[in-house]
Amino acid sequence: MASEAWERVYTANDYHDGPRLGVANLGGKPHAYQAEFSDQLDDYTESFWLREINEHLLTLVLEDWAIWLRWKKAHQQGRATIESHPALPQDRPRHAEISSLIGDQLTARPDNSVVKLASFRRNALNDMEVLWIDP
């Protein structure tokens, strides 16, 4: 059974043929999401693990996302090379600090998560949304 509404996707920190790791709402609350990878298939499955995160972690993730968005814009405008990914030189120290603070807190595993299937889309404002579906 699907949730009642499309929910906000805050970040897609890993993207491979679709979002694979990031933060999105589930039931209106921010959760880390991570696509399950099958070694047997050598590919991602349709299942996602979701684990609720606290406000402090969400704040860090969003700050780091803003750093990446600045880099992406500069790269698209030809002002940053791929070698500088994922942060502009002026943002690199803060990005490193945030990365250290986040550590592996975005990791979701079967032992600490709920499992959902997902349908991702872009809305009229070009923001990403997700519909979580019970497997």
**Domain boundaries of the chain, sorted by first residue:** 1-53+107-135, 54-105
- What is the pTM assigned to this prediction? 0.89
Which pLDDT value is given to residue 33?
Answer: 96
pLDDT, position 41? 84
Query: How confident is the model over 117-129, as pLDDT tens digits?
Result: 999 999 888 899 9
- pLDDT of 16 reads 86
**Residue 3 pLDDT greater than 70, yes or no:** no
* Phi, then psi, of 80 in degrees rounded to 5: -145, 140
Q: How, if at all, do strands 7-15 and 19-26 pair?
A: antiparallel
**Dihedral over alpha carbons 2, 29, 113, 108 (to 10 degrees):** 120
pLDDT band at 51 (very low <50, low <70, confident <90, very high): very high
Chain-centroid distance of CA 39 in Å reads 22
End-to-end C-alpha distance for the chain, whole angstroms: 8
Pairing of strands 29-38, 114-122: unpaired
Q: Is the dihedral of CA 83, 100, 15, 90 positive or negative?
A: negative
Ordered DSSP codes for 73-86: HHHHTTSS-GGGTT
* pLDDT class of 1 with cuts at 50, 70, 90: very low
